Structure 1
Amino acid sequence: MNIKLSVVDQTPVHGSNSKKDAPFLSVELAKLCDELGFYRYWVAEHHDSVHFANPCPEILVAHLASVTKRIRVGSGGVMLSHYSPLKVAECFSLLSTLFPGRIDLGVGRAPGGSGLTSSALAYPHQADSGRYYVEQAQLLEGFIRDSLDDSHPYKNIHVLPEKGDVPELWMLGSSGGSAGVAGQLGYHIALARFIDPDNCHPDIFSQHEKAWQLAGHEMPAKRVLAIACVCAETEQEAKLRAGTAVYRKFASQIGQREDFLTPEQVQDRYQRLPVSEQAMFDRIQASYTIGSVAQCQDEIESLARHFKTDEISTVTVTYSQAERLDSYRLLSSIIR
C-alpha cells in the first residue's frame, strides 16, 4: 500500500535525560524524521504534566520548521478553548508566511491539563470548559480563510500578514464528537486512536465526509489516523520498550501520577499487580502497534484499510530517546 507515515510528538520527558532536555529531543527527532521521509510532524500541547513538556506548540512549530527542510510541521493540537481565535490565526498565518506550504494548524477541544491549569490559563476570566469550542473553531476558520460573512462584526479585521500562505486546518478528536463540526466548517480530521481506541471507529471518518460534502467544500477532505506505536528489531524487544508508555496510561487510569518507569521497572510492577489489573495493562498494550518492522507494517496497513485512509500518524513514547529514534528509523523502511 502507498501509505504516508507521519508523527505526533508529545515531547515526552524521557527518563534517560534531564527534564529540560525534552524540547531539544523533539528537535532531534524532527530532524531525523525529515531526513527519513515522514510526511508530517505535529507537536501536542500539555500543561503541568510530569510526562510531556510542550505547553506552547506554536513556539515549537516555529523552531522545528526552521531546522527542517521538507516535512510539514504543525500542532496536534492547539487546545483552542484556552485561546483567542484571532491570536491563534495570527500566529499560524505568520508561520505559514515564513514557511509556505509546510504549516498545519490542528485544534482540539480537550484542556491538555487539569482543571487548575485551565483556570490559571483563563485568569482573570473563568475557564469555559469547551462550551464555546464550536464558535471558536468557526471564528478561527473565518479569520484564517477570510471567509467571515459580510455581516459579521469582525469581518473587517485583517489577519496579518495579509495575502500570505494559509495553514492547513485540522480538527483532532478521539471518539467522533467533533466529526460533524469539522466537516461542516472545512477542517480536515485526525482521529487519535492512541487516546481512545475503544471508541475510535471508521464511521467517524464517514460522518466527517458526509458533513464535508453537505457543506459543499470544493477541496477534498483529508483524514489521518494517529496510533500508538513502538517498533524494534524483535517483538519481544518492542514489547519491553513499549512497557513504559503502556504503564503510564495504565497508571493514569487508576489515579497514579509519577515519572516514566524503565522497562525493567514496568516488568517488576506488572508481576506484582493483581490479576484484574494485569488484564487492564494487557488490554492497553493490545491497543498499541508493537513489534518488528514486518509486524508494524502489517498492522499499519490493516488499520489503513479498515479506516480507509492513506495516512497513519505514529505516537512513540519510550523511556529513552535512543529507543524512540530507533523506532522511527525502523518504521521509515515502510515508506521507502
Structure 2
Amino acid sequence: MSIKLSVVDQSPVHGSHPKIDAPRLTIELAQLCDTLGYHRYWVAEHHDSIHFANPCPEILVATIASLTQNIRVGSGGVMLSHYSPLKVAETFGMMATLNNGRIDLGIGRAPGGTGLTSQALAYPHQPHHGDLYAQQAQMLAGFVNANLPAEHPYSRINVLPDSIKPELWMLGSSGGSAGLAGHLGYNIALARFIDPDNCHPSIFDTYSEEWKQAGHEGTPNKMLAIACICADTEEEAKLRTGTAVYRKLAAQMGQREDFLTPSQVQDRYRELPASYQAEYDHILNGYTVGTPDQCWQEMEQLASQFGCDEIATVCVTYSHHDRMDSYRLLAKHL
C-alpha cells in the first residue's frame, strides 16, 4: 500500500529552547516537512496549556502556508464550539484563496482547554460545551460550500466572491463524530494518538456507511493520526518517547509541570508504584516507536487494518532536535 505521510503538530514547548520559541519551531518543522515530501501539515488548538503553544491555529496556518510551497496546510483542528461558523468559513476561505487551495479546515468538538478557558472564550455569553456542535458543523459546511438551504435564515450570505474552498475535515478519537462527519460530507481524521484503546477500524466503517446513506458523491478522504517517535535505534526512540508518555501519566495523576527530560522520566519511572509503572507501559504501547523500518512496518499494518492510505504522525519530545530528527528519518521511506 502506498501511504501518504502527514503531520499533526501540537506545537510543544520544548525544554531545549526558550518557551517563546515554540511557535517559531513549529514553522521551522513545517518548512522542513515541505522539503521532505510530507503530504499535509496540520496544527492543533490548545488554550491555557504549559505544554502546547498554539491557541490560534488560523494564524499559524496562514504563516506556514505563506512560507511553504507544496505541502497542504491546515488545522487539526479548530475547536468549533468557541467560534462563529461564518467567521471560520471566512477565515479559511480567505487563506485557501490566497494559497492556491492548499488549505485544510479541520474541526473538532473538544474544548482544547479547561472549563475556565471555555468560559473566557465565550464571554460575555455562556459556553455551550459542544451541545451545538452538530448544528455548527452543518452551518460551517453550508457556508464553505455555499449550499445552505434556501429557507435557512443565512442562505443569502456570501462568504467570499468566487473564493477557493478549503478542504473540510472532522476530527474524532473514539467514534463519537464519525456518523456526523459522514452525514455532513466531511473528510474524517481519526486521532488514535489521543485514545488508542477506543480507536477501532469500525469507526471508519460507520463513517463510510453514513457517507453513502447521505448520498454524497465521490470517495472521502480518511486519515489515521498516531503518536510516533523515530530514531536511529529502538532504544533511543523509546528514551525520547518518555517525555510525552510521562506527560500523559502525570495528567492522570493530577500533576501539571513542564516537560521532563528523558533522564528525568527514567528517574521518575523507577520511583513510581508498580501500578503506575504498568500504566506508563500501557501508554507507551499505544505509541509507534522505533527505527524507520520498525515505524513504517507498524504504520503499514495500521493503514491496512483501518483501511486508509494516509497516516499523520504526532511527535512530542523534550528536544526540538529530536523531533526534527524523527521526521527526517521517517521521510527516508517516502
TM-score tier (shorter)? over 0.9
Alignment map for 1:72-111 (pairs within 5 Å):
72-111=72-111
Q: Provide the residue aligned with 1:136 in structure 2.
A: 136
Give the match for residue 120 of structure 2.
120
Q: Deviations over 1:116-162 (max 9, x none)?
A: 000000000001000000000000000000010011110001102x1
Tell me the distance in 1 between the aligned counterparts of 2:218 and 2:18: 45
TM-score by length of 1: 0.99
2:49 is the alignment partner of 1:49: yes
Distance, in Å, in 2 between the alignment partners of 1:330 and 1:56 is: 29
Which digits, 9 at most, give the CA deviation of each residue in 1:7-65, with x for residues without a partner? 00000000001111000000000000000000000000000000000000000000000
The AA in structure 1 aligned to 2:267 is: D
Residues 267-308 of structure 1: CA deviation (Å, up to 9, x unaligned): 000000000000000000000000001110110000000001
Tell me the residue number matched to 1:65: 65
Give SS of 1:314's match: strand
Q: Distance in 1 between matches of 2:212 and 2:99?
A: 30
Q: What letter corresponds to residue 131 of structure 1 in structure 2?
A: D
Q: Which amino acid aligns with 1:266?
A: V
After TM superposition, list the pairs within 5 Å mapping 1:267-278 onto structure 2.
267-278=266-277
1:324 alignment partner AA = R
Structure 1: where are the runs of 5+ without partners?
A: none
Equivalent AA in structure 1 for residue 153 of structure 2: P
Q: 1:308 aligned to 2:276?
A: no
Residue 221 of structure 1: how far off its partner (Å):
1.1
Aligned residues: 334
Structure 1 counterpart of 2:157, one-letter code: I
Partner SS, residue 226 of structure 1: strand
Tell me the C-alpha RMSD between the 2 structures.
0.5
Question: Deviation of residue 218 (structure 1)?
Answer: 1.0
Q: Letter of the aligned partner of 2:260 in structure 1?
A: L
Identity across aligned pairs (percent)? 67
In the alignment, what sits opposite 2:2? 2
- The CA deviation at 1:219 is 2.4
The Cα shift of 1:265 comes to: 0.2
For 2:286, the equivalent position in structure 1 comes to 287
Taking the aligned partners of 2:38 and 2:57, their CA distance within structure 1 comes to 19
Equivalents in 1 of 2:318, 2:332: separation in Å?
Answer: 23
Secondary structure of the structure 2 residue equivalent to 1:77? strand
- Structure 1 residue 5: Cα displacement: 0.4
In 2: Cα distance, 1:179 partner to 1:164 partner: 28
C-alpha deviation, 1:169, in angstroms: 0.3
Q: What secondary structure, in the 3-state scheme, does the structure 2 residue paired with 1:257 have? A: coil
For residues 212 and 190 of structure 1, the distance between their equivalents in structure 2, rounded to whole angstroms, comes to 14
| 2:22 corresponding residue in structure 1 | 22
Match of 1:328 in 2: 327
**Residues 191-233 of structure 1, C-alpha deviations (whole Å, 9 max, x = no match):** 0000000110001001110000111111211100000000000
Task: Name 1:212's counterpart in structure 2.
Answer: 211
Verify: 1:38 aligned to 2:43, yes or no: no
Aligned-partner SS, 1:111: coil
CA distance in 2 between partners of 1:53 and 1:15 (Å): 13
- 1:200 and 2:199 matched: yes
CA distance in 2, matches of 1:19, 1:143: 37
- Give the counterpart letter for 2:228 in structure 1: C
- Partners of 2:167 and 2:118 in 1: CA distance: 27
The gaps in structure 2 that reach 5 residues or longer are: none
SS in 1 for 2:153: coil
The residue type equivalent to 1:147 in the other structure is: N
Query: What SS is found at the alignment partner of 2:332?
Result: helix
| Residue identity matched to 1:231 | C
Q: Distance in 2 between matches of 1:73 and 1:225?
A: 17
The residue type paired with residue 203 of structure 1 is: S
Displacement of 1:101 after TM fit?
2.4
